[in-house]
Structure 1
Amino acid sequence: MLIDYLWLLVTAGGAFALGAALAYVVMRQKPLPPAVKEAQDRKVRKLYGESQEDKSQ
């Protein structure tokens, strides 16, 4: 009977630890500065050979 509770604790604890680690990583992410984001957008448009304006038409 005790082993059943141990497996429950290990399984639930593992899932909780994984969820907590993922939440921590997501919360620590910083948004890109506007200049870097714009440079990234320009390179993506250059890579795909079209701008967002062309795609919307």
Structure 2
Amino acid sequence: MINEAPEDPWFAALEQHLAEGLANGTHMAAFVVYGPENCLASCALGAIQQGLPGPG
């Protein structure tokens, strides 16, 4: 799966969701750290999901 996107329909939906979430920057952020020779050293993705208020 390296350097190739899966051909499953869920992946296209995921790709669109991530692209939209990262583009507006209000509830999603991604960070990438490159190591020597421009290789991936680390990455992280965070998303804020607001729930409904409840008692207490």
| TM superposition score normalised by structure 2 | 0.35
Structure richer in strand, relative to its length: 2
- In our comparison, the structure showing a higher alpha carbon Rg is 1
Q: For CA contacts below 8 A with separation 6 or more, give which structure has more relative contact order.
A: 2
| TM superposition score normalised by structure 1 | 0.35
